[in-house]
Amino acid sequence: MIADCARPLANLVRGRPVLATFQVTLRCNSACGYCDLPLNQGRYELTREEIRGIFGLLYTEGIRFVLVQGGEPLLRPDLVDILEDLSSLGLHVTVITNGTRLTTDLVARFTSLRLPLSVSLDTLDRTRYRQIRGADQLPQVLAGLSLLAQYPYPKFLTCIVSEVNREEVPDVVRFAKARGFIPVVGAYHWNVGLYGKEDTGLMYDRSAAAGVFELLLKEDLIPPGYFRKFVADSAGWLRGQQLEPCDAGRYSIAIDASGEVSPCLAMSSVGNLRELPYREILSRFSGPQIQACSDCSSCNRLDGRVVGTVLRHPLSAWRTPVRFQ
């Protein structure tokens, strides 16, 4: 037990990753206007055995938290088997999904694994949903959310603010809280390295978007702790303030479905875990490149900032709830 804790604690002291964002598949059944990931291109995907081997190694190197996403992760037939493998290694796994393919059986299996779940929902209006997500799937998402009504482990509802939905965001947050979800609200970013497609229909005036985040804070719609700070940071960035440094590549990494590794999803791969040792890949990260991206203050992705923010603001992190009931 002590040895299991020693490695991640040493990583935090030395500035090495403890969190990995893993794109378990790049297949997706949505076509979101704000997504610029290379989806549905028939690229190679790691097998279940390869995933277990890679993450077994990453565990020994101090990785303890894994955000499993896509694409849409629920499109992968062996997803639950992979999640069972990751959990059995001692990793703390969160599944990030668009919620369109949740079933009673899947929810039961997620419950048995005690997994935190994050579901994306930007609007409660079917027309706006289709405009933002590129697919008419709101009824499926709402049905999936209903299956999580009694889900006993942390569940989050993520809403991305764009011009299409910005006036509706407070209602989406109230919807989430009424159903026991912790609301996570972020801003649509475009042209941030490889992340964030420029969609003229979704692009907003920064001042108008800042007003959305400020309203959430004023009306106390966001719970205390880390996620409230995330909203406050978003408001500040939209008003032209500098964000704290991004810790992509320092405390977190991104791994795509084929094993390619980058500091975060906005940056290019520097090596593949099927071909190169993990530590050699880490040595290829460019600190100045990451710093230059951070200095632009144009992205506050959770995966690249959560660990560093928690370390810098432990009191805020301590106040963060894990569920609403």
Cα dist from 240 to 38, 73, 123, whole Å: 30, 35, 26
The tens digit of pLDDT for each residue in 115-156 reads 999 999 999 999 999 999 999 999 999 999 999 999 999 999
Mind listing the pLDDT tens digit for each residue in 245-302?
A: 899 999 999 999 999 999 998 899 999 999 999 999 999 999 999 988 888 767 878 7
Confidence (pTM): 0.95
Q: Mean pLDDT throughout 240-244?
A: 89
Identify the H or E element spanning 102. Answer: none
Q: What are 96's strand-pairing partners?
A: 118
What average pLDDT does the segment 196-205 reach? 92
152's CB contacts (< 8 A; 6+ apart) are: 111
Return the SS3 of 253. Answer: strand
Residues contacting residue 161 through CB under 8 Å, at least 6 positions apart: 169, 185, 186, 187, 188, 204, 209, 212, 213, 234
Contact 278, 61 (CB under 8 A): yes
* CA torsion through residues 225, 159, 258, 77, sign: positive
% of residues, the chain, pLDDT over 70: 98
What is the percent of the chain where pLDDT is above 90? 78
Tokens representing 121 are 């929902």
Q: Which helix (H) or strand (E) holds 156?
A: strand 155-161
pLDDT digits (tens, 9 = 90+) for 10-52: 999 999 999 999 999 999 999 898 888 888 788 899 999 999 9
pLDDT, tens digit (0-9, with 9 covering 90-100), for 66-100? 999 999 999 999 999 999 999 999 999 999 999 99
Residue 325: is its pLDDT beyond 70? no
Mean pLDDT of the chain: 93
Q: Are 204 and 213 in contact (CB under 8 A)?
A: no
**What pLDDT was estimated at residue 74?**
98
Angle of helix 48-60 versus helix 79-88 axis, rounded to 10: 20
pLDDT beyond 70 at 3? no
